[in-house]
Amino acid sequence: MWNILTTDTFDQWFDAQNDHDRARVLASLIVLRERGPKVKKTLRRQY
Protein backbone atom coordinates (compact mmCIF):
# COMPACT_ATOMS: atom_id res chain seq x y z
CA MET A 1 0.00 0.00 0.00
CA TRP A 2 1.27 3.47 -0.91
CA ASN A 3 1.09 6.57 1.25
CA ILE A 4 -0.71 9.55 -0.23
CA LEU A 5 0.79 12.85 0.82
CA THR A 6 -1.06 16.07 0.10
CA THR A 7 -0.07 19.69 0.31
CA ASP A 8 -1.85 22.50 2.12
CA THR A 9 -2.82 23.87 -1.29
CA PHE A 10 -4.42 20.56 -2.28
CA ASP A 11 -6.20 20.28 1.06
CA GLN A 12 -7.68 23.77 0.68
CA TRP A 13 -8.76 23.02 -2.88
CA PHE A 14 -10.22 19.65 -1.85
CA ASP A 15 -12.19 21.20 1.03
CA ALA A 16 -13.65 23.78 -1.37
CA GLN A 17 -15.14 21.11 -3.66
CA ASN A 18 -18.73 19.94 -3.44
CA ASP A 19 -19.56 16.52 -1.97
CA HIS A 20 -19.84 14.83 -5.36
CA ASP A 21 -16.43 16.04 -6.56
CA ARG A 22 -14.74 15.26 -3.23
CA ALA A 23 -16.10 11.71 -3.39
CA ARG A 24 -14.72 11.22 -6.89
CA VAL A 25 -11.30 12.57 -5.99
CA LEU A 26 -11.22 10.50 -2.82
CA ALA A 27 -12.12 7.36 -4.78
CA SER A 28 -9.21 8.01 -7.13
CA LEU A 29 -6.83 8.57 -4.23
CA ILE A 30 -7.92 5.27 -2.69
CA VAL A 31 -7.21 3.44 -5.96
CA LEU A 32 -3.82 5.15 -6.20
CA ARG A 33 -3.04 4.16 -2.60
CA GLU A 34 -3.95 0.53 -3.31
CA ARG A 35 -2.33 0.15 -6.74
CA GLY A 36 0.50 2.67 -6.68
CA PRO A 37 1.84 4.60 -9.65
CA LYS A 38 1.09 1.78 -12.09
CA VAL A 39 -2.62 2.64 -12.17
CA LYS A 40 -3.89 2.39 -15.71
CA LYS A 41 -4.55 5.57 -17.62
CA THR A 42 -8.25 4.70 -17.67
CA LEU A 43 -8.51 6.10 -14.16
CA ARG A 44 -7.65 9.53 -15.52
CA ARG A 45 -10.30 9.29 -18.21
CA GLN A 46 -13.10 9.24 -15.65
CA TYR A 47 -12.73 12.98 -15.18
What pLDDT tens digit does each residue of the chain (47 aa) get? 889 999 999 999 999 999 999 999 999 999 889 888 777 665 555 54
Q: Is 41 exposed, middle or buried (0-12, 13-18, 19+ CB in 10 A)?
A: exposed
The model's pTM: 0.73
b or e along 3-32 (b: 16 or more beta carbons within 10 Å of the residue's beta carbon)? eeeeeeeeeeeeeeeeeeeeeeeeeeeeee
> What's the pLDDT score for residue 41?
62
